[in-house]
Chain A
Amino acid sequence: MNLEAVIGLEVHCQLASCSKIFCSCPTKFGALPNTQVCPVCLGLPGVLPVFNKRVLELAIISGLALSCKINNHSRFHRKNYFYPDLPKAYQISQYDEPLATGGSINLDGKKIGITRLHLEEDAGKLMHAEGASLVDFNRCGIPLIEIVSEPDIRSPEEAYAYLTEIKAILQYTEVSNCNMEEGSLRCDVNVSIRREGEGLGEKVEIKNLNSFRGVEKALHYEIERQIEVIKSGRKVFQETRLFDEKKQVTFTMRAKEEAKDYRYFPEPDLLPLIVEKEQIESLKSQVPELASQKKERFMKDYGLSEYDAKILTSTKEMAIFFETCLRSYDKPKIVNNWITTELLGLLAEKKKKLADSLVKPELLTKMLLLIDDGVISGKIGKDVFAEIFASGKDPEEIIKEKGLVQIKDTDSLYLVIDEVLSENPQAIKDYQEGKKKAVGSLIGQIMKKTMGRANPELANQLLLKRLGEDI
């Protein structure tokens, strides 16, 4: 029996406008409950929504970045459901005439289709207290786009890659900060199993997914569950399930909560959304170079491996950091090595983000120039870099303060070499008997005595001279 998973994803993303979608309330995260609300977003009688121009622009840019067709004519609908997070008892959304349709993204050569991208407003937040529920409507009316994928995804890993790419695109275009902790990026999953020759099985929706890894894990569990159901001869039911992050399982949502009958109808308070061709053309110029294009360019122009180019373009800040370094230090591979090993290593170790790090491109390139000029060795550079990371200090200052300047004068080096030689008569004897490896241990001791400050090439040369080589 040949079974395969068929996965579709719905991504909700908050657009980075200053005010809400249909009223002038602020969208700032973290405000006190119900301090960013007004009669419009509270759904008081007699109010009218007025659509935000910036929200439309950001949504069009998102659509263009996802290679969608922007529809000249689209429309808002009311999605009706009765729940206390929604004061009007309907959400203004788009239904059969969405803003954008027919896009796609590329995942390492595989195309994943985007069915549609539409505009909608977010709902409020419910907190469950003793004997009652408490509602905060600050999020109510926050502008969202919903991006619906085609059921082109075949594995949990592919779902993870798709989400990562969507996030990178939305961040690169700066239409959203995509912060999952703040709820500005959320995701629902649809999954079913296809039996070869029998078409698609019933679709299960999974909600309550708080991270991309959560999506991956929930899918692993759910796919296995559905396959087991099929193999045992039973049927998968169409339903909504919730993911329990702790137990790593999905479970059935109660049927009552699920009663899904949204009775969409055209929103009479809003006129159709008309987008002129000229506006789309002018917004096209605002779509920046995206991660995947940047990656290709980094490989071509800087001779980087695909692996490195992918890391450097994984966030826009990282790519900017890298290219800023190149402006004052034109050796891409060296800059790449320092970023991908030292900088990312320290960021991971200290659980920091690049944006909060004290390392600035100028500090890194200044240090690289000091290495090239022989002021410090590459090895000492790592210590200097760690200090820049910790304090944000200028590398020259750090070198001076810690006495890290490389020893390059012959006299000082001979002093150390002679000391090491006098302590190691056996090594000299070994060397003279042809065991050339003895040099290594002697150099090691010279480095140790100079705390790594000896210029390695020069020290090697002088040592060989002392050992009687004619160089």
Chain B
Amino acid sequence: MAEITKKEIEHLALLSRLSLSEEEKNTLSQQIKEILNYVEKVNELNTENVTPTFNVLPLGERLREDKVDNKFDSQSLLRNAPESEGNFFKVPKIV
């Protein structure tokens, strides 16, 4: 059975910049535990001599020529953001 501590939940929340209430922490640790247990099933297989599969295609990466194409208008891209200022994306203060 996989275990996840409250400390680990708090660490994950910090990495994701989420602030969680005590109640949320409890719910999440229960839910994440269930997910981990579900995935844990895979660990029952013996994979000692199996190379990990990262991609199912037996190919190498296809490469692109080094050609510039700057067709996107920055104003239309900025409109996707919740907030912008001038030509910048605007985010909550980070320091």
Contact = CB atoms under 8 A, between A and B. Distances in A.
A261 B11 contact: yes
A35 B71 CA distance: 10
A238 interface: no
B15 A259 contact: yes
Interface string A22-54: 001110000011111111001010000011111
B64 A32 contact: no
Interface string A119-131: 0000000111101
A290 interface: no
Contacts of A266: 54
Contacts of A272: 54-55, 60-61
A56 B63 CA distance: 9
B38 interface: no
Interface string B78-95: 101001011111111111
B45 interface: no
A84 B82 CA distance: 13
A256 B15 contact: no
Nearest to A33: B87
A35 to B, nearest CB: 5
B65 A53 contact: yes
Given A53-B65, A55-B66, A84-B94, A34 B55 contact: no
Interface stretch (A133-141, A198-206, A294-302): A133-141
A53 B63 contact: yes
Contacts of B91: 84, 132-135
B59 to A, nearest CB: 6
Contacts of A44: 80
Nearest to A17: B66
A285 B54 CA distance: 34
Chain A's interface size range is 35 or more
A273 B62 CA distance: 9
Given A33-B87, A135-B91, A19 B68 contact: yes
Nearest to A260: B15
A75 interface: yes
B63 to A, nearest CB: 4
Contacts of B15: 80-82, 259, 261, 263
Contact of B93 (A35, A75, A128, A256): A128
A259 B88 contact: no
B17 interface: yes
B94 A126 contact: yes
A135 B71 CA distance: 20
B66 A33 contact: no
B42 interface: no
A273 B89 contact: no
A320 interface: no
B95 A128 contact: yes
Given A53-B64, A82-B16, A36 B85 contact: no
Contacts of A126: 94
A303 B82 CA distance: 67
A270 interface: yes
A133 B94 contact: yes
Given A33-B88, A35-B74, A272-B54, 7 more contacts: A18-B66, A38-B72, A39-B77, A52-B63, A132-B85, A136-B89, A137-B89
20 contacts: A19-B69, A26-B68, A32-B74, A34-B78, A38-B70, A38-B77, A50-B63, A51-B63, A54-B65, A82-B17, A128-B95, A133-B91, A133-B92, A133-B93, A133-B95, A134-B86, A134-B89, A268-B55, A272-B55, A274-B60
